[in-house]
Amino acid sequence: MTEVEWWEYEGTAEFAAAVAGDLQFVIESALDARGAAVIALAGGTTPAPIYAKLAAAKLDWKKVTIVPTDERIVPLGDKLSNVTMIGKTFIPKGARVMPIVPQATADHKAAGRSADALMQDLHWPLDLCLLGMGEDGHTASIFPGPDYDEALSGPRERRALGVMPDPLPPEAPVARVSLSRQGIVTAKVLTIAITGAAKRKVLEEAIAQGESSRYPIGRVLAEVELPVDIHWAP
């Protein structure tokens, strides 16, 4: 069973500061070890205050490369673009924020192959992967649909792929590019940050179900080899 440690906070301010502190420590450790860090950060609204706190850290940001854990296949600058949101916070600090979908395309498979090729040029495994989770149990952009099995069980060397959720999420009804399960679980540090009682209930159930979970995050975390820190606030 997946080894997890829950960290609970009374409010979102304490939550954001604590998670940012943990991420800072991981980045500092990578910089000390080899003079560079490669990290994957989740999109969405939950991590925004975390990133604001993290960006204030006195790090050598020019040696930090950031990729999104997943990206909607939309033009750069679009309100749905995860890398645009991340970039607004960290590019001014000097970090290298790498778009994995440089242009919108109707072919999500081709977008996935392009993103995987970009990932292949990065130092691997990731020093850190920060995941979020939707109330439906998806993480990154690993959703049920025609690409679900490939995202979970594709070739070990594949780091990213194109994903067409089925059904499309109403808040962002577009195809995606996502880190694969293998790209996620091989990270040196794997952290999850979520808020709300509903998400906690889903995540606890998903972890308990393991490989047979009906939730994508349960399948992603099943039998993961490294301990996972889960940060939660109401």
Task: Give the pLDDT confidence score for residue 1 in this predicted structure.
Answer: 63
Cα-Cα-Cα-Cα dihedral sign, residues 170, 50, 213, 126: positive
pLDDT at 198: 98
Q: Which residues contact 79 (CB under 8 A, 6 or more apart)?
A: none
Q: What is the pLDDT of residue 20?
A: 98
Per-block average pLDDT, block size 10, for the chain (234 residues)? Answer: 91 97 98 98 96 98 98 95 97 97 92 96 97 98 98 96 97 97 97 98 96 97 93 98
**Coarse DSSP helix, strand, coil percentages of the chain, rounded to the nearest 5 percent:** 40, 20, 40
| pLDDT number for residue 2 | 78
SS3 assignment, position 224: coil
pLDDT of residue 32: 98
